[in-house]
Amino acid sequence: MMALVRREHVKATASGVIAAALLAALIVVGSRNLDHFDAALVGYTFATLFAAFGITYRYAMWLQRPPTRLYWRRGWQVFFTGRFVGRNAVELVRRVVLQFAANRFIFRRGHLRGLAHWLIMWGCLIAAAITFPLVWGWIHFATVPGHLDQYRAFVFGYAVYDFPVESWTAFVVFHGLVWASLLVIAGVMIAFRRRMIDHGAVSVQQFEQDILPLALLFAISVTGLMLTASYTWMRGYAYDFLAILHAATVIITLLYLPFGKLFHVFQRPAQLGVSFYKDAGIRGEQATCGRCGAPYAPASMVRDLTAVERDLGFSYEMSGTGTVDHYQQICPRCRRALVGLAQASLWRASD
């Protein structure tokens, strides 16, 4: 068992090191050998490298668990099934739009809860899409030679777009993090409201899993807005202190990312594979109960669940029961009946 644990950790560590090294190489290449890399942002860069290592390490450990490994493998097998590949590709796009972009699965739990999640998610995605390429030197802006009223956007060192300094394009682009911060703050406030008045949420919430992630996102957004206010309306008052404070909140969040609740951002997409697996199970052969003969679940899922339980060391074999070899071959209704019969048998034995 110890050898297995060590082997899993070695694999996960190697995956994390490869991911961090690959990101570092992309930073060097994308910034044209660091020519467009801002040394003032080196703290952010090392935090993202650590986050890449930690996220990959934890994800690799998660994928090596027997249930996750089986669902991962089955999901890909089902998705690339020959005659269903086209249908699955279309369905994948639909589910990405509805389940992730629109957060339909959260809105089903409550309109305010869904709105909070949607605002936080899109605020973070917009902020990440802007911040990381800038930090890594993949995107930078410069004035157009001979036209000081024009900006030129560069992506991986290539000029892609020119726009006037005083245009709406410039205003929207250079304030992108402001719009992202406003979305996050609105979502965090709605989420905090629920956690203060919803007795069900209050009774089960934990600081490190429920309050801390919201506090970190709120701190990043507020300090970012304070930076904008400082150089826009306050002539740079306290800008250096605010820059350090904002950097600290961002770096702490990046270091926390692989270990806290925010890691579910990277786990959630794997649920799409599970949904395709369920669809295939519904289309396929159904298992029938060994006691009453009624169909109750896809046969493939019953076989896979039985195999996973054995991998985890759980033994639910049923010897001496005729055609039933395993507890999973009995439907839920009959399981409840068997519990009642067993209790009655024990009661009679005690009499």
For residue 1, is pLDDT > 50?
no
Dihedral angle of Cα 75, 77, 83, 85, to the nearest 10 degrees: 60
CA gap 323, 4 in Å, rounded: 35
**Arithmetic mean of pLDDT over the chain:** 89
Q: What is the CA radius of gyration of the chain?
A: 27
The DSSP string of 321-342 is STT--BGGGS-HHHHHHHHHHH
The DSSP string of 239-258 is HHHHHHHHHHHHHHHHHHTT
The per-type count for the chain, helices as H runs and strands as E runs, is 15, 5
Stronger pLDDT, 81 or 140, i.e. the higher one: 140
CA gap 127, 184 in Å, rounded: 10
For residue 3, is pLDDT > 70?
no
Which residues on adjacent β-strands are paired with residue 234? none
Q: How confident is the model at residue 214 (pLDDT cuts 50, 70, 90)?
A: very high
Q: Which of 320, 319, 332, 280 is CA-nearest to residue 301?
A: 280
Whole-structure pTM value: 0.85
Mean pLDDT across the stretch 303-318?
A: 86
pLDDT tens track for 270-294: 888 888 888 888 888 999 998 888 9
pLDDT tens track for 178-203: 999 999 999 999 999 988 888 777 78
Which pair of tokens denotes residue 235?
């002539």
Mean pLDDT across the stretch 118-145?
A: 93
Percent of the chain with pLDDT over 70: 97
Please return the burial class of 204, using the count of CB atoms within 10 Å of its CB with bins 0-12, 13-18 and 19+: exposed
**Domain edges within the chain:** 285-350
Question: Nearest 5°: phi and psi at 313?
Answer: 90, 15
Torsion sign (Cα): 54, 56, 61, 63: positive
Give whole-number Cα distances, 64 to 10, 12, 55, 259, 309, in Å.
12, 9, 14, 17, 15
Q: How confident is the model at residue 222 (pLDDT cuts 50, 70, 90)?
A: very high
CA gap 309, 314 in Å, rounded: 5
Which pair of tokens denotes residue 15?
């995956």
**What's the pLDDT score for residue 154?**
93
Question: Of how many residues is the chain composed?
Answer: 351
The DSSP string of 28-53 is HHHTTTTTT--GGGHHHHHHHHHHHH
Which pair of tokens denotes residue 177?
């993090």
Mean pLDDT across the stretch 204-210?
A: 83
Q: How confident is the model at residue 351 (pLDDT cuts 50, 70, 90)?
A: low
Which residues on adjacent β-strands are paired with residue 143? 151
Q: Which of 81, 72, 5, 56 is CA-nearest to residue 308?
A: 72
Measured from the Cβ of residue 322, the count of other Cβ atoms closer than 10 Å reads 8
**What's the pLDDT score for residue 31?**
92
**What's the pLDDT score for residue 79?**
87
pLDDT tens track for 57-105: 999 999 998 889 888 888 888 888 877 888 888 989 998 898 888 888 8
CA gap 141, 152 in Å, rounded: 6
pLDDT tens track for 22-50: 999 999 999 999 998 988 889 999 999 99
CA gap 333, 150 in Å, rounded: 72
